[in-house]
Structures are given as C-alpha cells and as structure tokens.
Amino acid sequence: MTQKTAKKKSATVAPPQFQTLPALHISEEALSWLRHYWAKLGLPDNELANLAVTHDRREYAKWTGRRLNSLALGCYCYMPHLSSASGSEDLSQSMLTQSQTAQPIIELSLLDSAGQLVLPGFGAAPVNAKKSSSKKRHRHLIFIEKDLLPMGIEVTVAHELIHLSDRYKGNPRKHHCHGSDAIAADEAKITGYAPDALRTLLADETARRERALRETRPVKYIYVCDHCGKEYPRVKRYPRTVSCGVCDRAYNPDFKLRLAKSL
C-alpha cells in the first residue's frame, strides 16, 4: 500500500453502452463455454442485456477504471448504475489470479427481426430490453485471459459466471482462498472436475502466465517486508514509500517494504 492510496483519485470509468450489450469480445471456444455454463447455472436470458466479456486487458481496464493484476486469469466486476456523470462508482470485483496459441477475438452483436440483440444459443432478447435501457441498470463485466489451455478457458468461464450468478441471486461472495473455498467447491461441482485437479490447473496456469510475463518484462527489483518476510518482485522501482499489504491493507509505516535486491 502506498501513502497516497486512501486519497488517490479514481480512474475514469468508461463501461460499454447498454445499446451495445451483450458485448462479447471473446473467442469461439470461450463463447461456447459461456453458453454452456450460463444455461447450467440457470441464468436468465434478460441478464444478457447487461453483459460484457472481453479477452483484452486494456479494454477491461477502460470499462472498470482499474488495471488488472498482471497475473489475473479472469475477473468478474459488478457495476451498479452509475451515480454521476464523472463515472465514479463503487465496483465489486472478484478476480481469479493464478499457452497455447491465442484464440481469435470476435464480437457477436446480432439483431433479431425486432432489432434487438440476440446471442446465439440463448434465444431472443426480452421484449422490454429497450424500455429498460432508460431505467437504472447494472452491468456484469468479465475478463477472460485468452492465452489459456482449453481446460483453463472452460474453468475460468465457469468460475466467473459463478460470481455473476451469486450477484444475480443477491448473495455475492468473496474468495477466502482461491482453489480451497466454497466458490472452488461450487466450481468443482458444476464443471465435474475434482478439486485437486482444479487447484493443480490454477497453479499451472499461473506459472505459465508468470513465465510469459517474465519473458517480456523481467523482474529487476525485489522488495521485502522485514515483518512477515513476503517478497515483492518488481519490473520498476516503487515511486514512493510502500508498505506490506499482507501485514496491513492500509498504508502502515511499521511495515515499510525494503529494497532487498537490484537484478
């Protein structure tokens, strides 16, 4: 945590416009699993009018006003009705932080005979979709890392849709430990994969993602917390004094990070 975290200004939020939803900037493979688990979770078709999914980290950051963790494999963000013209909003996010050839990115924005958006495999958009656009509406924003193994794509889509389903049912949950909490148990149940297999997949995909990052952005600095011993690898030096987020989520000078190595 930095000293200025508490008073730091929010980045500009530019979510997709409702008239463009559903916005599905994903591969055919990811789209197929989206259809599959949307139906399996019993999510209603009318929620599609609030859905946007992308493989593009920059696009997702533009939607939410927040940069993704560089190791994130997937992220779900619930965006309630924007309360002001500035786009300032309290967002609720659930992130999966843990390749084969990347899949092509596509956008499916199809219209039915009434001029309403239709997602193949889901049926027509609700009759009142246009009318509801003028009312207070929310958005479901999802990021899926494109450079995942086939099983990784399937599981990540299922994982983020579980978060969406929780929010839709009014019972959003946060992770206590990725791969070993109630959400992970639901993920195993709906996908049919054993919990141990899912934990191994998460670790493997995270390691693959980190190796890919290190090839283009090698670590040059290692910071360490002298209190708990946690290391923080960095591509660039911190521009200001930083404290350990494990020891205290807010900035705390008692847990200042020390530059231990310059590689």
167 and 249, same structural domain?
no
Residue 80 lies in a domain: yes
pLDDT at residue 91, as a whole number: 63
Torsion angle, alpha carbons of 163, 166, 172, 174, to 10: -40
pLDDT above 80: residue 261: yes
Residue 74 is assigned to a structural domain of this protein: yes
d(CA 181, CA 177): 6
The answer as to whether 155 is a domain residue is yes
Q: What pLDDT, on the 0 to 100 scale, is given for residue 143? A: 96
pLDDT of 104 over the 90 cut: no
Number of structural domains found in the chain: 2
Domain range spanning residue 261? 219-263
Query: Is a pLDDT exceeding 80 seen at residue 107?
Result: no
- If asked whether residues 103 and 142 sit together in one domain, one would say yes
**pLDDT score for 49:** 93
Domain-located, residue 26: yes
Residue 8: inside a domain, yes or no?
no
Task: Give the pLDDT band of residue 117 (cuts 50, 70, 90).
Answer: very low
Q: How far apart are CA 142 and CA 52, in angstroms?
A: 6
Q: Does 53 share its domain with 91?
A: yes
Q: pLDDT tier at 135 (50, 70, 90 boundaries)? A: low
Across the range 55-65, mean pLDDT stands at 93
Cβ neighbours around 213 below 10 Å, total = 14
Q: What is the DSSP code (8-state) at residue 122?
A: T
- 11 inside domain: no
Residues 179-199: tens digit of each pLDDT: 666 888 899 999 999 999 999
pLDDT the model gives residue 165: 94
Residue 204, domain member (yes or no): yes
6-59 pLDDT per residue, tens: 444 456 888 999 999 999 999 999 999 999 999 999 999 999 999 999 999 999
The residue among 63 and 123 whose pLDDT is bigger is 63
Predicted pLDDT at 106: 31
Q: What is the pTM of this model?
A: 0.68
Look at residue 121 in the predicted model and tell me its pLDDT. 41
The more confident residue out of 175 and 189 is: 189
Report pLDDT for 1: 52
Percent of the chain with pLDDT over 70: 73
In this structure, the answer to whether residues 180 and 262 fall within a common structural domain is: no
Average pLDDT over the chain, rounded to an integer: 78
Q: What is the pLDDT of residues 201-211, one digit of tens each?
A: 998 888 888 88
Judged by average pLDDT, the poorest of 18-32, 124-138, 244-258 is 124-138
**Each residue of 228-260: b (16+ CB within 10 Å) or e?**
eeeebebeeeeeeebbbbeeeeebeeebebeee
Residue 5 located in a structural domain: no
User: pLDDT at position 92, please?
Assistant: 66
